[in-house]
Amino acid sequence: MARDLLLAGFAVLVGLWSATSTLRQFLRLRHIPGPPSAGFSRWWLLRAVAGGRTHLDLYEACQKFGSVARVGPNDLVTSDPDLVKRMLNVRTPYRRSDWYDASRLDPSQDNVISMRDEKAHAKLRSKMAAGYSGKEVEDLEAKINQNVLALVDLLDSEYVSANRPFDFGRKAQYFTLDVISDLAFGEPFGDMATDSDVHEYISTIETAAPTYIVATVLPWLIAVLSSPLFKWMIPSEKDVVGLGRIMAIAKQVAAERFGPNKKTQNDMLGSFVARGPTQSEAESEILLQIMAGSDTTATAIRATMLHIMSNARVLDKLRAEIKEFSPTWPVITDAEARAMPYLQAVIKEGLRTFPPVAGLMAKEVPKGGDTFKGIFLPGGTRIGVCAWGVARNPEVWGQEALEFRPERWVEASPEKLREMDGAVELVFGHGRWQCLGRNVALMELNKVFVELFRRFDLSLVDPTQPWKSTNCGIFFQSEYWIKAYRRDEGGA
């Protein structure tokens, strides 16, 4: 009897503690509107990040509740580019939150994205910056050119000549995977040569992404999955395919650079090694390069292509500019592309209209809190970015924010252009957390649209259902069926 009373008393105390804790958490952010259940439970946020439409759920929350909205007991999301810049600038007191713990592709090893210790992050970033920028990669542009031509040849020889449609969702990622693997350690995976997902990387990431994105809301899941009991569920270098296979390649390539007979090569990894990272740090960065350098750039290519193909005015103007500038054959140079104003406008508008990263990337409000535009943000609060909302904020983009209109970049005044550039650049992060691979990604974009549209007439097989697109922080796009027909060689 006494034991039962003791257990009942303990249960009551636990219930009271839980209720008090929940109420306290609710009250500290009660002044910021959001979905009613979000103040008491993480369920709304879990459903949003795991439901395949993260970008839209967060955008709709900001549309309904304001540019700063509550989406969890301790979570806010913002569509205000000024707040995003405030959180990301070089001297910001904001820090990466535990959201980033789930960014470890290898749960036992941090990378330049997942690292939350500011001093350690700055040190690791300095070792990686030159390699990611491509400045120390031998024949960087020539390698990208070779892969652009490999994509063209694949489409022409296997599909155009046979009058067959192709899934551009897959072909775009074969291209970006081959580019980044070629630049990272001197040899492409061979996805385009074989017209296949050689290491089953794409299918593995699509399967694993929902777990990773849930772990950004429930960071303790990373520790659970890393325990011996659940270790069988996470990728292993012993795996024959998938992310585990990429881990094995990373270890093998890193071992060649750090072993007794050190292999020296002027690629991204060679640049890293020259600046003194540990072998395990190098392995982790190779994994990050593959994911960060392929998934997001592939999305930018797919989405921008869709907008160009769907808009005859834009396509005509782009082809007219290609014809006028008559760029180098067989592949336009990066310098030529940067000098083409309408092409640059198309690329910027593509990144604006369809930001490739839609995960929260949540930062933590500094101790003591912060006040932004009259809103008090308590210390320790996680604030994520609504990329879709930033890209459609009417204060920046006006009443035509929903329209794909590259002309806005050509017509804008110098002052307005600076504002727009500052907002669209947030696609690559900002300040101390700006994407290290930005230059390489832009070089790919500068080339691929010109080379595809001056060679082929491209049309959607089913315009009513152009693709299957889902989002778990990053986008997965497949069933993106296109037919291509040859144009006169060399002319737009």
**Bind-site residues for heme:** 435
β 75-78/382-385 pair status: parallel
Q: How far apart are CA 398 and CA 400, in angstroms?
A: 5
Distances (CA, A) of 240 to 193, 198, 203, 287, 290: 20, 11, 14, 16, 17
- Beta strands, E only, 305-438: 363-364, 370-372, 375-377, 382-385
Is 197 within 8 Å of 203 (Cβ atoms)? yes
Q: How far apart are CA 82 and CA 30, in angstroms?
A: 23
Is 207 within 8 Å of 235 (Cβ atoms)? no
Phi, psi of 471 (to 5 degrees): -130, 130
User: Which positions ≥6 away from 254 have C-beta within 8 Å?
Assistant: 269, 279, 282, 283, 286
Phi, psi of 370 (to 5 degrees): -150, 155
Is 122 within 8 Å of 242 (Cβ atoms)? no
Q: Which helix (H) or strand (E) is 299 found in, with range?
A: helix 279-309
Q: Which residues are annotated as a binding site?
A: 435
Four-point Cα dihedral 440, 354, 196, 462, nearest 10:
-140
